[in-house]
Structure 1
Amino acid sequence: MESQRIIQVEEKVPLKLLVPLSIQHMFAMFGASILVPFIFGINPAVVLFMNGIGTLLFILITKGKAPAYLGSSFAFLAPAGVVISNFGYAYALGGFVAVGFCGCILALVVYRFGTGWIDIVLPPAAMGPVVALIGLELSGTAASNAGLLEEVIDPKKLIVFMVTLGTAVFGSILFRKFFSVIPILIAVMAGYGAALICGIVDFTEVEAAPLLALPNFSAPKFSLEAILMILPVLLVITSEHIGHQVVTSKIVGRDLLKDPGLHRSLFGDNFSTMLSGLIGSVPTTTYGENIGVMAITRVYSVRVIGGAAILSIICSLIGKLSALISTIPGPVIGGISFLLYGMIGTSGLRILVDSKVDYGSSRNLALTSVIFVTGLSGISVKIGNIQLTGMVLACVAGMILSLLFYLLERFHLTNDQT
């Protein structure tokens, strides 16, 4: 592909290239995207279905000018996990709907007032640690899925875990060309093969599953307490979305924040999340893996992205395939989670590096320090029936501190200048 010319956003792609390029985009998001429903304990078929529908809606809302694939969002894992354990998955769906709806309202605010206020509420010194906490807070979940926290560790599970993690880690630094885009998928396949050899895969559900089947849709339930636990994630996913659009703009050589406009892409992203909650799926977000595919292939056509979305929908309707995906054992998921959660944590640190946060400033040092300790200490704050803990509590604390620091600076009360 490196010897070929750039295929721009609006260009058509010949069918002989459209199919393999679309499959590649679907594979790029596949490993990470289906991990989220596994963690939530739901069938991945509904997620594959909504990822495809959400991507097509995103393309429509952005008038076919912003190439992006919408996959499962990791930002919701920690707060949604708390809601699921306390209330049930249906109430987490209600939280997803609320966040998506508020995100659509936020898109209208961005259309009217721009994005400068986001840096006031969550500047890079706060956003970096908040994003890092998304991964760090879930590290125990990865170990639990792998079976490493059991009193007696099963040697078979340990072997599967090590094969999966080893393939993911070394594949991410050794694989080249097309394989460098899908190390997570390859690691899942390697781990699954090890699980078959170790005899810890159960095919009972696959044998009973029909060839074709509709995804298992479910309806949300709403609780103010559950919604308020999840709602602070809105600021995190907004900053993530802006970052993805900036990176994509540099790749395609166009300012996507102006045309089609950040308000359109932000609305499309959050509308998809709201719709996901309404049908029983997980929140969606523009996927960095697919941005990487565009950078490598130099093919930016939204028709390729749309083809990948259609393929994802088709896969969700094949009952045997959905059941087969569900047989992936915990040690495989745990091995992938070890790397992915760490990468999420590292992406938070990358925000600090890319933004060149000055820790010679007492304000930045205090802000990052308080957020990290608040998120990792295990403390919780109850306001009525609402319990804030982990990343959500850290995000709220960071927002309050950021606003206070901004006001102190406006009144020239800080000691930065001296």
Structure 2
Amino acid sequence: MSDLSSAQSSVKQATLQQPIWRNALAGLQMLFVAFGALVLMPLITGLDPSVALFTAGIGTLIFQLITKQTVPIFLASSFVFIAPIAYSVQTWGMAAAMGSLFVSGLVYVAIAALVAIRGTGFLHRLMPPVVTGPIIMAIGLGLAPIAVNMAMGKSGDGAAELFPYTDSLIVSMSALITTLLVATLGKGIFRLIPIMAGVLVGYIMASIMGMVSTDAVANSEWFAIPNFITPEFNLAAILFMLPVAIAPAIEHVGDILAIGSVTGKDYTKEPGLHRTLLGDGVATSTAALLGGPPNTTYSEVTGAVMLTKMFNPRIMLWAACFAIVLAFVAKFGVALQTIPAPVMGGILILLFGSIAGVGMNILVKAQVDLSDQRNLVIVSTTLVFGIGGMAMGNADFSLQGISLCGLVAIALNLLLPQTKAEEASLGHPQAITENKIEQSSV
């Protein structure tokens, strides 16, 4: 065993023997780290942030149960689904959007079953980096207009002006600059909460500018049941959402390898990738049944685990319990909804850009050669279909945005002939992914 692995094992053993109060305090800290992104996603899509807190907690408990409390992961709102949720809500309504997200969770379950039967090789053949990279880039770049509109004081679609332009820019840039500075210059645990810092400074500036009204907070009850939504199942909405679920499922593999590189354990073997995928999928479907956003693993929490060396999965159980309790504090949920659009817009400029950056990084780390015509065709077509608003279908049903570009990317990858070098590289996806993690940690 290497010195690094021995050190990780010693630290892990120490954290497993911590008293309950220390685990509880560490769990509260993990929730604090994830909190900014957790509540921002539902605020953008019109979901109840209290429901998002509740389903993040329930989802994490489900994940830990299915994975036998072996992986120190906290699940919370996924930004990948923002644009598809917004379109689904606008087209078919919130209940139908929740129904489609429930089925999306079942996609994870189906992939988990395939992984249990056939291993992970087919995943990398279906969606190699040349496919997942541009899809994730299209997700981030396609959301860019929403961030810019909100930063300028408009609604997400730009149709309505909510606040004066100059005041909005001052507020949004204050939030953005604070987030950038904390992310790049912050030390210790503070470096892991740039979103919360940006929201706090932006909110203070917005209050000074007269953009914040706290009347709703004063008039609300202290405790209340979150606004749960019963899903409806609309075939068109389901077919629209299904392709969107595939890319995050593939990304899940990288997330599990990343947390494994931090703790020194191979979670693809124990509890097994099929169990982690199953846990993520069941958590997402459960969230949709309650009206919450789909769940995903959080890199912020992975970073906190690495920084604090808190490897005990029971810590995430405490974080989940705190999230569930907080969901019933009505004044807290109402206060979150008073955050003005310019504050969120400033932070979303960075977040959506970061999503696009993740997609670019996938291509770079996998050394995808864009001078190769096959790769160039897949990447360029996927990007334009995803960002340009291409739609195919009729008045009853159409595919567009991420759903369409995801299917197009997969189809092109399967139909266009590969070189022998490309076929060989697909035979060693584990080594490629581990190399990506090793390079990114340097």
Are the aligned partners of 1:367 and 1:402 in contact in 2 as well (CA < 8 Å)? yes
Question: How far apart in 2 are the matches of 1:377 and 1:8?
Answer: 51
What corresponds to 2:439 in structure 1? none
Are the aligned partners of 1:9 and 1:302 in contact in 2 as well (CA < 8 Å)? no
What corresponds to 1:32 in structure 2? 37
What corresponds to 2:438 in structure 1? none
Are the aligned partners of 2:41 and 2:79 in contact in 1 as well (CA < 8 Å)? yes
Question: How far apart in 1 are the matches of 2:228 and 2:13?
Answer: 36
When residues 84 and 181 of structure 1 are mapped into structure 2, their CA distance, relative to the original with a 3 A threshold, is same
Selected match of 1:105 from 100, 107, 110: 110
When residues 8 and 215 of structure 1 are mapped into structure 2, their CA distance, relative to the original with a 3 A threshold, is farther
Are the aligned partners of 1:9 and 1:65 in contact in 2 as well (CA < 8 Å)? no
Are the aligned partners of 2:15 and 2:310 in contact in 1 as well (CA < 8 Å)? no
For 1:15-30, list aligned pairs within 5 A. Answer: 15-30=20-35
Paired residue type of 2:347 = I
Selected match of 2:383 from 372, 379, 383: 372
When residues 94 and 178 of structure 1 are mapped into structure 2, their CA distance, relative to the original with a 3 A threshold, is same
What corresponds to 2:229 in structure 1? 218
Give 1:327 shift.
Answer: 1.0
Paired residue type of 2:66 = I
When residues 358 and 331 of structure 1 are mapped into structure 2, their CA distance, relative to the original with a 3 A threshold, is same
Question: How far apart in 2 are the matches of 1:51 and 1:247?
Answer: 21
Question: How far apart in 1 are the matches of 2:15 and 2:373?
Answer: 48
* Corresponding position: 1:72 with 2:77: yes
Question: How far apart in 2 are the matches of 1:326 and 1:74?
Answer: 18
Selected match of 2:101 from 96, 110, 132: 96
Q: Percent identity?
A: 36
User: Which deviates further from its counterpart, 381-390 or 253-262?
Assistant: 381-390
Paired residue type of 1:44 = P
Residue by residue over 1:36-86, the C-alpha shift from the partner in whole angstroms, topping out at 9 and shown as x without a partner, is: 111111220000001011101111100011111001011111222111111
1:245 match: secondary structure? helix
What corresponds to 2:244 in structure 1? 233
Give 1:12 shift.
Answer: 3.5
2:12 match: secondary structure? coil
Are the aligned partners of 2:37 and 2:195 in contact in 1 as well (CA < 8 Å)? yes
2:311 match: secondary structure? coil
1:30 match: secondary structure? helix
Paired residue type of 2:192 = V
Residue by residue over 1:98-119, the C-alpha shift from the partner in whole angstroms, topping out at 9 and shown as x without a partner, is: 1112221221111001121122
* Corresponding position: 1:281 with 2:292: yes
Selected match of 2:365 from 330, 338, 354: 354
* Corresponding position: 1:121 with 2:126: yes
Question: How far apart in 2 are the matches of 1:278 and 1:3?
Answer: 39
Residue by residue over 1:343-366, the C-alpha shift from the partner in whole angstroms, topping out at 9 and shown as x without a partner, is: 011011111122122234322122
Are the aligned partners of 1:8 and 1:299 in contact in 2 as well (CA < 8 Å)? no
TM-score by length of 2: 0.88
Selected match of 2:137 from 132, 137, 153: 132
Are the aligned partners of 1:10 and 1:64 in contact in 2 as well (CA < 8 Å)? no
User: Which deviates further from its counterpart, 112-121 or 263-272?
Assistant: 112-121
* Corresponding position: 1:13 with 2:18: yes
When residues 350 and 236 of structure 1 are mapped into structure 2, their CA distance, relative to the original with a 3 A threshold, is same
Query: Which segments of 5 or more consecutive residues in structure 2 lack a partner in the other structure?
Result: 1-6, 155-160, 424-442
Are the aligned partners of 2:153 and 2:341 in contact in 1 as well (CA < 8 Å)? no
Selected match of 2:315 from 304, 308, 325: 304
Are the aligned partners of 1:9 and 1:66 in contact in 2 as well (CA < 8 Å)? no
Are the aligned partners of 1:95 and 1:230 in contact in 2 as well (CA < 8 Å)? yes
Question: How far apart in 1 are the matches of 2:9 and 2:123?
Answer: 40
When residues 251 and 75 of structure 1 are mapped into structure 2, their CA distance, relative to the original with a 3 A threshold, is same
User: Which deviates further from its counterpart, 383-392 or 216-225?
Assistant: 383-392
Paired residue type of 1:93 = M
1:68 match: secondary structure? coil
Question: How far apart in 2 are the matches of 1:102 and 1:126?
Answer: 18
What corresponds to 1:416 in structure 2? none
Question: How far apart in 2 are the matches of 1:100 and 1:31?
Answer: 23
Paired residue type of 2:126 = V
Question: How far apart in 2 are the matches of 1:40 and 1:148?
Answer: 17
* Corresponding position: 1:166 with 2:191: no
Paired residue type of 2:269 = K
Selected match of 1:396 from 398, 401, 407: 407
Question: How far apart in 1 are the matches of 2:248 and 2:39?
Answer: 19
What corresponds to 1:335 in structure 2? 346
2:79 match: secondary structure? coil
TM-score by length of 1: 0.93
Question: How far apart in 2 are the matches of 1:258 and 1:385?
Answer: 45
Give 1:261 shift.
Answer: 0.3
Give 1:8 shift.
Answer: 4.8
Paired residue type of 2:68 = K
When residues 124 and 8 of structure 1 are mapped into structure 2, their CA distance, relative to the original with a 3 A threshold, is farther
Give 1:146 shift.
Answer: 2.2
Query: Which segments of 5 or more consecutive residues in structure 1 lack a partner in the other structure?
Result: 413-418
Are the aligned partners of 2:107 and 2:246 in contact in 1 as well (CA < 8 Å)? no
When residues 360 and 9 of structure 1 are mapped into structure 2, their CA distance, relative to the original with a 3 A threshold, is farther
Residue by residue over 1:305-336, the C-alpha shift from the partner in whole angstroms, topping out at 9 and shown as x without a partner, is: 11111111111111111111111111111111
User: Which deviates further from its counterpart, 363-372 or 246-255?
Assistant: 363-372
Give 1:135 shift.
Answer: 1.0
When residues 222 and 409 of structure 1 are mapped into structure 2, their CA distance, relative to the original with a 3 A threshold, is farther
What corresponds to 2:46 in structure 1? 41
Question: How far apart in 2 are the matches of 1:31 and 1:207?
Answer: 23
When residues 63 and 155 of structure 1 are mapped into structure 2, their CA distance, relative to the original with a 3 A threshold, is same
Paired residue type of 2:117 = R
When residues 10 and 168 of structure 1 are mapped into structure 2, their CA distance, relative to the original with a 3 A threshold, is closer
What corresponds to 1:254 in structure 2? 265
Give 1:170 shift.
Answer: 1.6
Are the aligned partners of 1:219 and 1:280 in contact in 2 as well (CA < 8 Å)? yes
1:381 match: secondary structure? strand
When residues 4 and 245 of structure 1 are mapped into structure 2, their CA distance, relative to the original with a 3 A threshold, is closer
* Corresponding position: 1:208 with 2:213: no
* Corresponding position: 1:181 with 2:214: no
